[in-house]
Amino acid sequence: MSRSRRKNIARIFGYGLSAVCLAVLAFRVDWPVFVTHLRSAQPLPVVLACALIIVTYFLFALRWRLLLSFQPKPSLVQVASFLMLGYLGNLLLPMRAGDAARLLLIRNAYGHGVARALSSILLERVLDVLAVLLFGAAVAFVAALPETVLLVLRSSAAIVGFAILLLGWVAARPASAIGVIERMVRPFSPEKGHAVAYHVKHFAEALEIIFPRDRNSVVRVAAIVALTAFGWGSFGAAMVLCTAALDVNPAIPAGLLMMVVTNLGSAIPSSPGSLGVYHVLAVVALSGWHVGLDLALSVATVSHAIVIGVQLLLGLLAMAIVGRQRSVHKVTAEAKPDS
């Protein structure tokens, strides 16, 4: 099956899944009760949640600037603008088209840096998944939840620990790691063994591009890890404020678990903006505390609206900023003396 056909199937499946989720919620929710819950939302926590989402994207812009780290050094405003345009693309277009848009923006602005930008986006995803899993593990050790849910969340702690060790091994001994991993997978499927080896090799190359073996790389790694932790901490606090705004109790673990489930669930193909899928996942996350469907859907709607609204506003602002800026590449070319 060709790659384009697989993408088309995933796109159709995503739209279909979103439609099914919206239909199920539409038939099961008590709309008058749902509207009553929405109207009862406290405005101050909602406003603070919006501010924290903005802080999250600011911290992620700082992180991406560190991951890019090429010359001429991109300004924070430009990096933040490209990042938000990427988020806007992912919001409005299917199949994470915003990530490709970020690559094009870097290439058009600087005339180079595409390989580093691609590597940085790959590392962003890995760091984000690990951070979200860690928050899930933290919820498991402080919240009273069904045993099945606790088992899944506590298993995430073991997964994170293993993943960190694996990443360290790939970074330190890429050739050895690739060979061992391929030999482990090959007995089950030779084709998958080669595919896994290819992806591990690609990741090792990304690490080498972003973090060359020098002393400065250690400092950059520490800063990037810290920005990832604070960024997701800010996002988690925003989700906690959403649950608190609608008097969900306990607000902190419920908000954090909602963040974990909805963000990990973003890997599921869906329509742009994860309409329906996000809401179902949020309802499932809140059901661990026996939150009713109408109230849980209200929390999901408020949190989703905040994230989407901030992405739209910052994305449109970024579009205006990028539209007024002249590309660094063109300015450099015009500044060269005639030969």
What is the DSSP annotation of 254-309? HHHHHHHHHHHGGGS--SGGGTTHHHHHHHHHHGGGT--HHHHHHHHHHHHHHHHH
For the entire predicted model, the pTM comes to 0.87
Q: Indicate whether 332 pLDDT > 60.
A: no
Instruction: State the residue range of the domain holding 175.
Output: 24-326
- % of the chain residues with pLDDT over 90: 46
* Furthest CA-CA distance within the chain: 74
Answer whether 70's CB lies under 8 Å from 112's CB: yes
Q: Which pLDDT value is given to residue 164?
A: 77
Residue 336 covered by a domain: no
pLDDT-derived band at 339, boundaries 50, 70, 90: very low
Distance CA 177, CA 200 (A): 8
The C-alpha angle with vertex 41 and arms to 262 and 47, in degrees rounded to 5, equals 75
Peptide bond into 250 cis (omega under 30): yes
Q: Which of 137, 22, 121 is nearest to 67 (CA)?
A: 121
Q: Indicate whether 315 pLDDT > 90.
A: yes
The C-alpha angle with vertex 33 and arms to 28 and 38, in degrees rounded to 5, equals 110
Residue 172 covered by a domain: yes
Residue 18 covered by a domain: no
Residue 334 covered by a domain: no
Residue 194 covered by a domain: yes
Distance CA 90, CA 100 (A): 9
Residue 249 covered by a domain: yes
Residue 85 covered by a domain: yes
Number of domains in the chain: 1
Distance CA 237, CA 240 (A): 5
Q: Which pLDDT value is given to residue 2?
A: 64
Q: Quick check: helix, strand or coil at residue 99?
A: helix
- SS3 helix, strand, coil % of the chain, rounded to 5? 85, 0, 15
Q: Indicate whether 82 pLDDT > 80.
A: yes
Residue 339 covered by a domain: no
